[in-house]
Every structure is written in structure tokens, then in C-alpha cells.
Amino acid sequence: MGKNIDYMMGLVNDYLSGKAPRYIFELVFQTEILARYKKMVREDRDYAEYFYDLLSEDGVDAGDGLSDTEFKKLIRRQYKKVKSVADDGFC
């Protein structure tokens, strides 16, 4: 992928591996997706849109009201879907 997509994937992975607490992850994720999204689109439009839909809209944004455990499960599930496309491509 491109460096901006890789950065965002790394950010999510850091959260999932316990390197960042939820509140830091949510804050940094929202800031970085706003700053990097246009660059991500230039790197790979389809993948950037898929990433945004799954991890931003259906992930972080949908996590309000979830417990920390439920939120992490949601983000992990969405991350795996995005990661599988990186590995296998769009079908």
C-alpha cells in the first residue's frame, strides 16, 4: 500500500496490540483520518474508501456507547476485514 494507508493500518494495529488506550486511539485516529484521507485516496482509492467505511464509519464512529471490550472486538473485526482485502484483493 502507500505510506498513509500503512500508517493508518499501523495505528489501528497499535491499539489492538495494547500499545495505546482507547481514548488516545480514538483521538489520534479521528485526527489522522481527517489529515490523511485525501492522500490515502491518491494511493489507492478503492482501499481508502473501504478502510474509511469499515474502520471509521462502521468502527470508531459506531463505537459510542460500547464498553472498552466491545469496542476492541468491533475494531478487531473491522480491521481483519480490511486486512483481508490487503492480502487477497477485492473479489
| Per-residue model confidence as pLDDT tens digits over 73-89 | 999 999 999 999 877 66
Q: How confident is the model at residue 12, as a pLDDT?
A: 98
Mean pLDDT of 44-51: 96
pLDDT in tens, 13-30: 999 999 999 999 999 999
Domain positions in the chain: 3-85
Residues 6+ apart with CB under 8 A from 84: none
Q: How confident is the model at residue 88, as a pLDDT?
A: 67
Burial 78-87 (b: 16+ CB within 10 A, else e): bbebbeeeee
Residues 6+ apart with CB under 8 A from 39: 2, 4
Mean pLDDT of 1-22: 96
